[in-house]
Structures are given as structure tokens and as C-alpha cells.
Amino acid sequence: MKEVQSGMVHNNFAVNTTVIGNISASSDIRIDGSLQGNVECAGKVIIGETSRVQGNITAANAEINGKVNGNITIKDTLTLKATSRIEGDIATQILIIEPKAVFNGGCKMQHEKTVAAK
């Protein structure tokens, strides 16, 4: 874990790091390596451009720059950057998709209480 200037703690998995198993975090998390498992985060999940995630992501907010093969459930805002490639279904309140992002799956835009209940 790393402490940032704001005093908030966040988790960071660097490039060339491979994690096999589920991750549960109460604070923000950034993944720049590979993950085979699910992510549950009370804060924001950032999937770096070099990342490969095979599993589901559940979080308050997320920014995807790399590849995700799994379903994504976000309580508030999901941003798919131009370098992202998503293979799976999305449920979120707010969806931002940059040009050149690839998304193959279904999408449900829902009220906060409905998304959080999933």
C-alpha cells in the first residue's frame, strides 16, 4: 500500500506483477499488472494500460485503460479510455467512453440503489 499526499491510502500493483485470486479493498486500487480473479473495491479502481484482468470488477468508480474480460459493476462513474478493451457486461450510473475504446457486451444504466444491490 502507498500513502498519497491527501493522506488517503491506496493499493498499487505494478507492471510485471501477476495476482491469482480475488482482491477486496476498502480504498482506491490501481492495477498495472495481470489479475486472474475478481476485484471488489469501496473506492476507485484504475486498470492501467498494460493491465490484463480476467474477472469481475465491482467498485464505486472505475477507469479502464487496459483489457478486462469480465463483468463490471460500478456504483457511480465508469470511464473507458481509448486504450481499453472490455469483453463483458457493464452496469453503472454514468458511462464515459472515449473514441477507440472497445466494448463487447451488454450495458445497463441504472439508478445508484439498483447498481449497488447487484
Per residue in 29-86, pLDDT (tens digit) is: 999 999 999 999 999 999 999 999 999 999 999 999 999 999 999 999 999 999 999 9
pLDDT, residue 9, reads 57
Nearest to 101 by CA among 117, 114, 86: 86
Please give the average per-residue pLDDT across 93-104, as a whole number.
97
pTM > 0.75: yes
Going from N- to C-terminal start, the domains of the chain cover 2-116
Instruction: Decide if pLDDT at 5 tops 50.
Output: no
CB 19 within 8 A of CB 35: yes
Instruction: Provide the grid cell at 72.
Output: 463490471
Instruction: Decide if pLDDT at 19 tops 70.
Output: yes
How much is the mean pLDDT over the chain?
A: 89
| Helix ranges (DSSP H) in the chain | 112-116
Spatial CB neighbours of 117, under 8 Å, sequence gap ≥ 6: none
